[in-house]
Structure 1
Amino acid sequence: MKTIAYFAFVLLGVIWGSNFIFMKWAADYITPQQVAFLRVVFGFVPLMIFALIRGEIRIRDIRHIHHFVVMALLATAIYYFAFAKGTALLLSSVAGMLSGAIPLFTFVTALLFLREERPTPKSLVGVALGFGGVVLIARPWQLDGAQMADGGVSLVGTAYMVAGALSVGCSFVYARKFITPLKLSALSLSTYQIGIATAIFAVATDYTNIDAVFSDPKTAWGLVAGLGILGTGLAYILYYFIVANLGAMAASGVTYLPPLVAMAVGIMLVGEPVALLDVAAMVAILIGVFLQQTGKRIVPAIKESSKNHAA
């Protein structure tokens, strides 16, 4: 079973890393909000089917709907929209590199709101190095503007990516404080979360010309299969399968793969120019994440309960 779990680990990294080029393609035809909406729609369908087959949907869980709404906003709606908007303004490879900073924001929000998280010199160095990498990619000392052919970076696009990463970071903290104690299965939680996010987008999205994305078969398949079925539906199933078989700590290591995959896809398959400074910044982010994750110190009294947290 562990062999299958390691295969799922690599597959999940490839799926998440390739999401950025699919978002980039779709943004040429429809708005970022429409991209996020269609992504959750096509991701929710396989999740719902799988959850129904497993008997994971229960009427009594509706009493926790206020928590599901918060998670739907933080871990799906805001996150997906911000990343779609940021990717539309950046090279897909650069957007993918910035996504590697998610664990850094998770760590910072945990320090602020969770008593069991304690900083160590090693973890603080990691956070500083990681955020330094984000600053190198953003280049705030340069004039902001649209994405340039020479690989220039939009400060606004970077800000959206940071906002998405921060939203996900807050969702991990919220989940640990309020969702984990509910003792619900990961599959049911994911289904409720994506389902509510789908409803939110259904109400908030402007549908004008949303069908334009289906005029290009490549883009349509990337959105439906790449972002929706694989990048949202299957990705959640794979993630929690990895957690169950390898543990939460090992599963968190999958965050190292998407930036590398996104850069490889952008450079080799699409021909996007990537500056050496961006590559150096990505390395700084990944090293920072490694130092931050390996330098954690947890209060002994609740160490055991935190081991059971699976996002």
Structure 2
Amino acid sequence: MSSKQLKWFLLIVLALIWGSSFILIKRGLVALTPFQLGSLRIIFAAVFLLIIGLKSLALIPLGKWKYIVLTAFFGTFLPVYLFSFAQTEINSSVSAILNSLTPLYTLLLGAFAFGLLFERRQLFGVIVGLIGCVLLIFNGAINNPGQNYYYAILVVIASVCYAVNVNLIKKYLSDLTPLSITTGNFTILLIPALLVLSFTDFFAVVQQPEVQHSIVFILILGIVGTGIANIIFFRLIQMSSPIFASSVTYLIPIVAFFWGLLDNESLSLIQFLGAFIILFGVYLSARK
């Protein structure tokens, strides 16, 4: 398989994995709190990665660990809790669509914080995408008065965190293997996640059948949707560009939307229009 074919193959695999993550979060929230879900997601991923990648930690130079810490918190720690809290109030498909703003923030941060050049067309794409975001959120709030759409802002913040993460990896960690980066990230996060979990009532309710059922979904999410997916994502960043790698968010909403349909979620026509505007804005920003 050529390098060009491989990067597209990895992009599609990643979209299938991450597009399915939102419904797994929804299933996990049936019996777990957002703090419990986020912590378990990190812990399961960390244990899995330490089993398969412990030796790869020795390949990380001492001077790179500060960037490992930064990418761990921006790329994983903050987003897993932000998405967990967001989906207590908004649908999984809406969460996935808002996550597609990541390439726009990647472009803006790359230009203003990391010295990357951009064109006027790309700036126009950012503005178009943000208009679609506002339309999606406000129409969702009107049509779903029982949901607090202010929580959608948490997804936007998580997308900004992902954008910071992508640029940091491309600029400072491109010389490390994806397994080293991923294992390093979750080694850093294991203790904080255990601490957060210990401050919840998880150990008092873990024997309940519905809690154990939710844990199974988060086990899958932690190992496949977080551990394995991050290895693929970091490899994709290294072999392509930050914008191409983050454009996986074009495809994620499609996968998440079909999962949402199977789970009786729905979007209004205006929300479909907002989603289309977001994806069109991302396309303008990301295409060469």
Alpha-carbon distance in 1 for matches of 2:265, 2:76: 28
* Matched ranges for 1:164-243 at <5 A: 164-180=158-174, 183-205=175-197, 206-209=199-202, 211-212=205-206, 215-216=209-210, 218-225=213-220, 227-242=221-236
* Partner SS for 2:87: helix
Q: Which amino acid aligns with 1:224?
A: L
TM-score (norm 2): 0.86
Relative distance call for 1:280 and 1:112 in structure 2 (3 A) is: same
Contact kept, 8 Å, 2:170 with 2:237, in 1: the verdict is: no
Structure 1, residues 60-100: CA drift from partner, whole Å, max 9, x if none? 63443332222111111111111111122111111111111
Given that residues 30 and 212 in structure 1 are in contact (C-alpha distance below 8 angstroms), is that contact kept between their aligned partners in structure 2? no
Query: Do 2:14 and 2:233's aligned partners in 1 also have CA atoms closer than 8 Å?
Result: yes
Q: Partners in 1 of 2:102 and 2:248 — Cα distance?
A: 12
In the alignment, structure 1 residue 123 sits paired with structure 2 residue 122: yes
Check whether the contact 2:45–2:227 (CA below 8 A) recurs between aligned residues: yes
The answer to whether 1:293 aligns with 2:280 is no
> What is the match of residue 281 of structure 1?
274
In structure 2, how many angstroms separate the alpha carbons of the residues matched to 1:240 and 1:172?
8
1:88-103 maps to which residues of 2 (within 5 A)?
Answer: 88-103=88-103
Residue 74 of structure 2 corresponds to 74
Q: Secondary structure of the equivalent of 1:98?
A: helix
| 1:263 match | 257
Bigger drift between 247-256 and 66-75 goes to 247-256
Q: How far apart are the structure 1 equivalents of 2:48 and 2:38?
A: 17
- Whole-angstrom CA distance in 2 between matches of 1:198 and 1:276: 42
Residue 136 of structure 2 corresponds to: 137
| Cα distance in structure 2, aligned partners of 1:290 and 1:102 | 12
Contact 2:60 2:176 in 1 (8 A): no
* Structure 2 match to 1:19: 21
In structure 2, stretches of 5+ residues that fail to align are none
Using the TM superposition, give the Cα deviation of residue 231 of structure 1 relative to its aligned residue in structure 2, in angstroms: 0.1
Q: Per the alignment, do residues 238 and 174 of structure 1 end up closer, same or farther by CA in structure 2, a change over 3 Å counting? A: closer
CA distance in 1, matches of 2:76, 2:185: 8
| Structure 1: runs of 5 or more not aligned | 296-311
C-alpha displacement of 1:167: 1.3
Shift of 1:198: 2.3
Give 1:175 deviation, angstroms: 3.1
Per-residue Cα deviation, 1:188-213 (whole angstroms, up to 9, x for no partner):
01111122122222223323136549
- 1:41 Cα offset (Å): 1.3
Aligned-partner Cα distance in 2 for 1:194–1:154? 32
TM score, norm. by length of structure 1: 0.80
For residues 41 and 293 of structure 1, the distance between their equivalents in structure 2, rounded to whole angstroms, comes to 34
Q: Aligned equivalents of 1:156 and 1:293: distance in 2?
A: 28
